[in-house]
Amino acid sequence: MKVGFIGLGNMGAPMAQNLAKAGHDVTGFDLQAPCPEGVSKAETAAGAAKGQDVVITMLPNGAILRSVADEIIPAMDKGAVLLDCSTVDVESARAVAEQAEAAGVMAVDAPVSGGVGGASGGTLTFMAGGRQEAFAKVNPLFDVMGQKAVHCGDSGAGQSAKICNNMILGVTMIATCEAFALADKLGLDRQKMFDVVSTSSGYSWTMNAYCPAPGVGPTSPADNDYQPGFAAELMLKDLRLSQQAAEAVDADTPMGHSATDLYAQFVEQEGGKGMDFSAMLPRFEKRHRG
């Protein structure tokens, strides 16, 4: 396929490169980042979008997505697909999809899970929203960039699935870190706690696959001084999106709300920016009740 790729940062660059390696004709654009090997450079976002079968965007937030959409949708061919892999608010995803459809362009919102490692290794999971016809057209690209793509429903459903998933992730990581900090003060060996919890009802992804305690369980960012696999500020972004969505539909999410407040405090007041989101554990280790 002929693919335009807009947003060649830490996630976008390896995704675009994997598509090029698989034989797709990829043209990229980014205001700052260079094009990876195998990707042709366009001088403008509209230039990257013109004449392509699919245009992929990987952008920081909904406001930037809307701005880029204003530029690229008029340049896209009718029947082409705008595939947005950014994590943005549901409202922006739906607004851009409506804008695309009005111009004769199909739209899919497909945020990803798997981080930079998944982007490099082609093992991302895509959560997709949009028409079935559009999903089917871009599915071969999902096969290159990831290991799984789930069609979640109409436009906005991909973003909805992502923020619900990451709200669970944020809440669960906090609970896991709290439990380790409590175990420490109770004099319980961390490895013994892991051995029990990882095979008991406390089993979770944050315990079993991404343990926040160094030297316990499979290798994780905790074993690399909490250098980010998934940065705390990105978790905060996703939690804030979850609360924005909850507010819009009048959903009661007290745990999600509390997790948002805790990550905001950690990132904005306690030096957590630039650290992995599992660095909540050393944060709790230093704190006292009340």
Specify the fold of 160-286.
N-(1-d-carboxylethyl)-l-norvaline Dehydrogenase; domain 2 (1.10.1040)
Question: Which pLDDT score is estimated for 116?
Answer: 87
162 classed as catalytic: yes
Separation between Cα atoms, residue 153 and residue 169, nearest integer Å: 22
> Can you give the pTM of this predicted structure?
0.91
CATH 1.10.10.10 fits 2-153, yes or no: no
Query: How many CA atoms within 13 Å lie on the side-chain side of 158?
Result: 30
Q: How far apart are the first and last CA of the chain?
A: 58
pLDDT tens-place string over residues 157-208: 999 999 999 999 999 999 999 999 999 999 999 999 999 999 999 999 999 9
Question: Which pLDDT score is estimated for 115?
Answer: 86
Residues forming CATH 1.10.1040.10 domain(s) in the chain: 160-286
**Catalytic-role residue among 50, 137, 162, 237:** 162
Strands (E), 131-285: 146-153
Instruction: Show Cβ contacts of residue 104 under 8 Å, excluding neighbours closer than 6 positions.
Output: 78, 79
Structure-block tokens of residue 209: 């696959």
Q: With contact defined as beta carbons under 8 Å apart, do 57 and 33 qualify?
A: no
Question: Which pLDDT score is estimated for 94?
Answer: 97
Residues forming CATH 3.40.50.720 domain(s) in the chain: 2-153
Question: Which pLDDT score is estimated for 1?
Answer: 96
CA distances from 78 to 6, 103, 106, 160, 233 (A): 19, 7, 8, 27, 37
Question: Which pLDDT score is estimated for 290?
Answer: 74
Separation between Cα atoms, residue 174 and residue 204, nearest integer Å: 12
Residue 149 pairs with which residues in a beta bridge?
126
Separation between Cα atoms, residue 183 and residue 211, nearest integer Å: 14
Question: Mind listing the pLDDT tens digit of every residue in the chain (290 residues)?
Answer: 999 999 999 999 999 999 999 999 999 999 999 999 999 999 999 999 999 999 999 999 999 999 999 999 999 999 999 999 999 999 999 999 999 999 999 999 999 998 888 999 999 999 999 999 999 999 999 999 999 999 999 999 999 999 999 999 999 999 999 999 999 999 999 999 999 999 999 999 999 999 999 999 999 999 999 999 899 999 999 999 999 999 999 999 999 999 999 999 999 999 999 999 999 999 999 999 87
- The alpha-carbon radius of gyration of the chain (Å, integer) is 20
